[in-house]
Chain A
Amino acid sequence: MAAPAEPITQLLDAVNREDATARSRLWNLVYGELRTMAKRQLAHEPTGLGLQTTSLVHEVFLRLMGGQQVDWNNRRHFFGAAANAMRQIRIDDARHRLRLKRGGGQKPASLHDEDVFLDEDPAEFLALNEAIKELESAAPRQAEVVNLRYFAGLSVDETAAALGVAPRTVDNDWKFAKAWLHRRLNSADSRS
């Protein structure tokens, strides 16, 4: 297979055409970019402030897209992939921290938290992640809004633009999803 390095727009178009591997190629690309940028951000962040996930995703978007116009369908694919990648990074991070906590061994000789950079209590985060998974099957559209808002850090307007719906719809879905997730997390079996 001759695989020329394809520009991101072509890759997004391939996703649109439902090209079998395009989705994972896109994911791979965005995931790699995000990790790299996260590292860079952490390396240059002087006093140990948290990772700014929102600006990360935006930075990756600008970096990959340059100044190109991107139609809403492609935005949706891109930010969908970015949100998923960010989510994966945070899951990995949470699991890693949980392992550390359970005595998987403290990293011996380093003061650099190379892969421990996010804010939440890892167990809390993983519970939230499970709840979002449930929301995905119960209410996929609302879950997508959560994905874009929470993991990709898009604003209501940006989410609306990416999904091709009115901001008001995003607002409603977001509000509903938050109440739903909040209930899920605070119900008795949420930590089972």
Chain B
Amino acid sequence: MSSSRIERIQRLFEQALALQPHERAAFLAEHCATDTDLLAEVTSLIAHDAQAHGGFLQTEPPVALNLDMTKKVGAERDAVLGRDRASGRPAVHEFQEIAGYQILRELHRGGQGVVYEAHDRVTKRKVAIKVLLEGPYASRAARRRFEREIELVASLKHPNIVAVFHSGQMVDGRQFCVMDYVRGVPLTEYIRSKKPPLEEALRLFATVCEAVNYAHQKGVIHRDLKPSNILVDVDGTPKVLDFGLAKMIGGPEQTVVSLTGQVVGTLPYMSPEQARGNPDEIDIRTDVYALGVIVYELLTGHYPYPVAGQMAEVLQHIAETQPTPPSRHWTAGCGVTQRSTKRLRSSHCPIDDEVETIVLRSLAKERDRRYQSAGELASDITSYLNGQPILAKRDSGWYWVKKFIRRRRVTLSITSATFLLLAFLSIATWASISTVRLVAASAQITGTAELPANSDPETASVTLENIKSLINAKQSRAAVTLATTYKDSNPQDPFRWVVLGWVWLEYFQRPSDQLKQHQESDALANAQIAYTTASALDAKYNSIAAQGLGHVYFLRGRQSGSVQEIQNAIREYSKAIEIDPDYPLALSNRGHAYFERGEYALAANDYARATRLGPDTLREYIPDAGRTYKNYATALRILGRPNDSVAAYRISLELDPRPYTSILLAVALADTGHANAIRATLNALRSPTSNTSWTSKIAACLCGDIAPETLIGYANGDDQLCEAQYYAGEVLLRAKKPAAATDTFSACMHTCGYVGKETLNECRLAKWRLGSPEVHNNNDAASGP
């Protein structure tokens, strides 16, 4: 159709529409004359115009603002598209007629909705129908999602999970789901009325854990486990209710906030990650935590920490307050009774050390310290019941001391720090004090094997070990306090100043959450003072101090993006190297500084000198020797030495097995012409067990499992976008699409520049690729959509 023809059609269409409907026929007949095609065209368009109003071609409506409007829009769109909602979608029914069920009575009314007892007309069995509150389901997208969720939940078939049969939508838009009718009482009520011995309560609870574990294996997280969601039926069989519902209607974290007071019953079972409002962190271990609260309550009749009072306070307790040991909370009146096997007086607490350990392990604030699955929890309980050793360990005294420091972080005075130092000394019986350890510890701090000029090597050794442990446990503030105390006890000792400088640098690099920006720059200034003092006290420390000062400048430069600071860093590192040409830490750090500036030849030269000691020895001097090798490898690759690069990546992986390094190794291997290298290297990464992580997505893309565009699409956040674009470019390059690869590499650089991530290895490699000849050979077919 020619464009003038279309224009003509459109003009007539507009003119006719401007007229009253009854005038249009005559108007068109007159203007189309004998062109019957034209007449038919315009007439049909006018007819369709009348139908194409409202939701047709509406982009996503502002559902969040106006739910009612959304519904109307959706209905209208269905109407204009000539679809009948009722026939197109199942399960829109009058209330009394829900999909062939007869409503008998209302069972329960709560924050989520209403539960009815009903009769299934076909199977003749009794069912429960939960009708959810109207609200978030108004949009079609949300409705679909709800249905998909229900489908997943309906796939759960387990004797201890209440079966969901199906779901649908009522005429008024509310969702319902039909489930098995269970005649039972909530778990806590059951325990309270029956007062079973400890073993029986635990056995019942282990059954619940196994059911939860089964659901986890099917990919369903409950998110709102609580005693009222666990019914015990007349046979004493526990049944877990409402799997996945919390996700669909907004988990407890939303419910409590919006319906304060009404649903506070949910609050005590909330996990620290939910209390902190980190929905991203919710996983199966969230359910493990809730199970921990439940078993705590079953055994003691209390919650692990105070849950009454202001919402903010309760949330803080959940997030931070360590649970009272259950044995201390137990009273004969509230908790489980004595163990059936041991004849003890009923006033005797049946909760022994092992049970307490199991409960507290489930209630760890950090997810990584909990049981990693409900199955692990169940199996430890079973082990306990069978008299076998449990896997959970109590947190060590050491851990608690660290906890103590962290909690007192703000108010910790020098005096109490000294006291703590004594505490460390008594705890640290495991630290067999020897000169060897001292040398090793100080080597990591100063990067040389020089022994401190210290009159008391025992104290030095223990202190250094303790400082290192604190830093490794991310308690860098406590480490600073300890190092300051150590320095204050003999301010004439340059070694102590060096230690302090090092701790400040570590503190800067591993800031704790509460740390403010200005404190960070103080950290660098403090490190600078410490190193300068050390070198002023004793010229023997000049190289160590120069190395440290270099690092101060380097970090400052990295933070501010100042070229001058990096230059200063190189100057200081060079001073250190001049005094001590084999100083591995200074060499490696100067390498990093050159690398930072994109001077890869100089960087590689320094890395080569630093790594002459070999990885095992280097690790003694440089804690993150893996990074030294990784950057060395990247520099070598950029310098066109693929085989050496591969070797260096391999060593880096041995020292520090990071998935990213595997990926970098894989693409470097491909450079060396090993066709199958990528798959072989990344096979473990792309395995289904880790298929949710970002690195496994990259691995999948490099292996050809997903398209490069898809990888870019998966990227979440700036770093990931840069990485995705670089690896997508590598894939395109190998697929002999150099032009598309060029575009993607430049998009990568563009993104990196935009978000200030030029220091990523991936960005450096993209830049290098743009400069390398392979991508310029010829043009492939146009890229883009």
A binding-site residues for B, Cβ under 8 Å = 1-6, 11, 21, 23-25, 27-29, 31-33, 35-36, 39-40, 43, 46-54, 64, 84-85, 87-89, 92, 108-111, 113-120, 124, 128, 138-140, 142, 146, 149-151, 153, 172-173, 175-176, 178-183, 185-186
Beta-carbon contacts under 8 Å, B214-257 to A:
217-221, 244, 247-250, 254
Q: Across the interface, do B13 and A176 meet the contact criterion of CB distance under 8 Å?
A: yes
5 contacts between A and B (CB under 8 A): A31-B713, A49-B136, A49-B141, A178-B57, A185-B81
Distance, CA A142 to CA B152, complexed state (A): 43
Distance, CA A113 to CA B753, complexed state (A): 31
Known: A32-B715, A49-B139, A182-B51. A150 touches B770 (CB 8 A): no
Known: A39-B716, A186-B81. A1 touches B771 (CB 8 A): yes
Distance, CA A151 to CA B254, complexed state (A): 32
Distance, CA A108 to CA B218, complexed state (A): 7
Known: A3-B749, A114-B714. A153 touches B142 (CB 8 A): no
Known: A1-B776, A5-B754. A52 touches B60 (CB 8 A): yes
Q: Does B309 sit at the interface, judged by CB under 8 A?
A: no
Q: How far is the CB of A20 from chain B (nearest CB, A)?
A: 8
Q: How far is the CB of B476 from chain A (nearest CB, A)?
A: 30
The B interface, classified by DSSP as helix, strand, loop or mixed, is helix
* B17 to chain A: closest residue by CB: A175
Which residues from chain B contact A85 at a C-beta distance below 8 Å? 785
Q: Across the interface, do A124 and B81 meet the contact criterion of CB distance under 8 Å?
A: yes
The stretch from B41-49, B461-469, B648-656 touching chain A is: B41-49
Q: How far is the CB of B402 from chain A (nearest CB, A)?
A: 32
Q: How far is the CB of A112 from chain B (nearest CB, A)?
A: 9
Distance, CA A23 to CA B776, complexed state (A): 18
The A interface, classified by DSSP as helix, strand, loop or mixed, is helix
A-B contact count (CB 8 A): 210
Known: A179-B48, A182-B56. A6 touches B254 (CB 8 A): no
Q: Does B171 sit at the interface, judged by CB under 8 A?
A: no
Q: What is the total number of residues of chain B having a CB less than 8 Å from a CB of chain A?
A: 87
Q: How far is the CB of B735 from chain A (nearest CB, A)?
A: 16
Q: Across the interface, do B60 and A25 meet the contact criterion of CB distance under 8 Å?
A: no
Q: How far is the CB of A170 from chain B (nearest CB, A)?
A: 13
Q: Across the interface, do A138 and B1 meet the contact criterion of CB distance under 8 Å?
A: yes
Q: Across the interface, do A48 and B48 meet the contact criterion of CB distance under 8 Å?
A: no
Q: Across the interface, do B784 and A27 meet the contact criterion of CB distance under 8 Å?
A: yes
Q: Across the interface, do B52 and A179 meet the contact criterion of CB distance under 8 Å?
A: yes
Q: Across the interface, do A32 and B712 meet the contact criterion of CB distance under 8 Å?
A: yes
Distance, CA A1 to CA B46, complexed state (A): 55
* B82 to chain A: closest residue by CB: A186
Q: Does B386 sit at the interface, judged by CB under 8 A?
A: no
Q: How far is the CB of B691 from chain A (nearest CB, A)?
A: 9
Max chain B C-beta neighbours (<10 A), residue from A29, A120, A142, A181: A29
Q: Across the interface, do A2 and B747 meet the contact criterion of CB distance under 8 Å?
A: no
Beta-carbon contacts under 8 Å, B713-747 to A:
713-718, 720-721, 724-725, 739-740, 742-747
Q: Across the interface, do B48 and A183 meet the contact criterion of CB distance under 8 Å?
A: yes
Contact among A25, A36, A46, A180 for B717, CB-based, below 8 A:
A36
Contact among B60, B219, B244 for A51, CB-based, below 8 A:
B60
Which residues from chain A contact B35 at a C-beta distance below 8 Å? none
Distance, CA A185 to CA B77, complexed state (A): 13
Q: Across the interface, do A178 and B141 meet the contact criterion of CB distance under 8 Å?
A: no
Which residues from chain B contact A64 at a C-beta distance below 8 Å? 754
Q: Across the interface, do B145 and A178 meet the contact criterion of CB distance under 8 Å?
A: no
Which residues from chain A contact B423 at a C-beta distance below 8 Å? none
Distance, CA A20 to CA B334, complexed state (A): 77
B binding-site residues for A, Cβ under 8 Å = 1, 3, 6, 10, 13-14, 17, 44-49, 51-52, 56-57, 59-60, 62-64, 80-82, 135-136, 139-142, 144-146, 148-149, 152, 217-221, 244, 247-250, 254, 279-280, 692, 709-710, 712-718, 720-721, 724-725, 739-740, 742-747, 749-754, 758, 767, 770-771, 776, 782-785
Contact among A28, A92, A114 for B744, CB-based, below 8 A:
A28
Which residues from chain A contact B692 at a C-beta distance below 8 Å? 110
* B717 to chain A: closest residue by CB: A36
Q: Across the interface, do B221 and A142 meet the contact criterion of CB distance under 8 Å?
A: no
* B766 to chain A: closest residue by CB: A3
Q: How far is the CB of A63 from chain B (nearest CB, A)?
A: 9
Distance, CA A179 to CA B419, complexed state (A): 82
Q: Across the interface, do B59 and A53 meet the contact criterion of CB distance under 8 Å?
A: yes
Distance, CA A114 to CA B48, complexed state (A): 37
Which residues from chain A contact B718 at a C-beta distance below 8 Å? 36
Distance, CA A1 to CA B776, complexed state (A): 8
* B5 to chain A: closest residue by CB: A138
Q: Across the interface, do B141 and A182 meet the contact criterion of CB distance under 8 Å?
A: no
Contact among A46, A124, A176 for B45, CB-based, below 8 A:
A176
Which residues from chain A contact B51 at a C-beta distance below 8 Å? 182, 186
Q: Across the interface, do B140 and A24 meet the contact criterion of CB distance under 8 Å?
A: no
Q: Across the interface, do A150 and B59 meet the contact criterion of CB distance under 8 Å?
A: yes
Distance, CA A24 to CA B784, complexed state (A): 6
Q: Across the interface, do A111 and B149 meet the contact criterion of CB distance under 8 Å?
A: yes
Q: Across the interface, do B49 and A178 meet the contact criterion of CB distance under 8 Å?
A: yes
Q: Across the interface, do B716 and A111 meet the contact criterion of CB distance under 8 Å?
A: no
Which residues from chain B contact A128 at a C-beta distance below 8 Å? 57
Which residues from chain B contact A35 at a C-beta distance below 8 Å? 712-715
Q: Across the interface, do B10 and A142 meet the contact criterion of CB distance under 8 Å?
A: yes
Max chain B C-beta neighbours (<10 A), residue from A50, A124, A176, A186: A50
Which residues from chain B contact A142 at a C-beta distance below 8 Å? 6, 10
In the complex, besides A53-B59, A54-B59, 17 extra interface pairs with C-beta distance below 8 angstroms are: A3-B770, A5-B750, A5-B753, A6-B750, A25-B743, A25-B747, A28-B743, A33-B721, A48-B141, A85-B785, A111-B219, A111-B220, A119-B144, A138-B6, A139-B6, A176-B10, A180-B48
Distance, CA A87 to CA B784, complexed state (A): 12
Distance, CA A175 to CA B13, complexed state (A): 10
Known: A32-B721, A182-B56. A46 touches B716 (CB 8 A): no
Q: How far is the CB of A72 from chain B (nearest CB, A)?
A: 22
Q: How far is the CB of A70 from chain B (nearest CB, A)?
A: 16
Which residues from chain A contact B142 at a C-beta distance below 8 Å? 47-50
* B153 to chain A: closest residue by CB: A111
Q: Across the interface, do B716 and A40 meet the contact criterion of CB distance under 8 Å?
A: yes
Which residues from chain A contact B14 at a C-beta distance below 8 Å? 172, 175-176
Which residues from chain B contact A33 at a C-beta distance below 8 Å? 721
Distance, CA A186 to CA B720, complexed state (A): 43
Distance, CA A146 to CA B219, complexed state (A): 40
* A174 to chain B: closest residue by CB: B57
* B722 to chain A: closest residue by CB: A32
Q: Across the interface, do B752 and A36 meet the contact criterion of CB distance under 8 Å?
A: no
Q: Across the interface, do B141 and A117 meet the contact criterion of CB distance under 8 Å?
A: yes
Q: Across the interface, do B747 and A28 meet the contact criterion of CB distance under 8 Å?
A: yes
Which residues from chain A contact B714 at a C-beta distance below 8 Å? 35, 39, 114-115
Distance, CA A21 to CA B770, complexed state (A): 13
Which residues from chain A contact B747 at a C-beta distance below 8 Å? 25, 28-29, 32
Q: How far is the CB of A161 from chain B (nearest CB, A)?
A: 18
Known: A47-B254, A138-B6, A146-B57. A25 touches B715 (CB 8 A): no
Known: A32-B725, A186-B82. A119 touches B49 (CB 8 A): no
Which residues from chain A contact B218 at a C-beta distance below 8 Å? 109
Distance, CA A178 to CA B771, complexed state (A): 48
Q: Across the interface, do A179 and B45 meet the contact criterion of CB distance under 8 Å?
A: yes
Give 4 nearest A-B pairs by CB, closest first.
A5-B753, A50-B141, A109-B219, A28-B747
Q: Across the interface, do A118 and B141 meet the contact criterion of CB distance under 8 Å?
A: yes
Q: Across the interface, do A113 and B45 meet the contact criterion of CB distance under 8 Å?
A: no
Q: Across the interface, do A115 and B713 meet the contact criterion of CB distance under 8 Å?
A: yes
Which residues from chain B contact A178 at a C-beta distance below 8 Å? 49, 52, 56-57
Contact among B52, B279, B770 for A46, CB-based, below 8 A:
B279
Which residues from chain B contact A92 at a C-beta distance below 8 Å? 709-710, 713
Q: How far is the CB of B76 from chain A (nearest CB, A)?
A: 13
Distance, CA A159 to CA B779, complexed state (A): 34
Q: How far is the CB of B727 from chain A (nearest CB, A)?
A: 13
Distance, CA A6 to CA B749, complexed state (A): 9
Q: Across the interface, do A153 and B742 meet the contact criterion of CB distance under 8 Å?
A: no
Which residues from chain B contact A108 at a C-beta distance below 8 Å? 219
Distance, CA A139 to CA B136, complexed state (A): 39
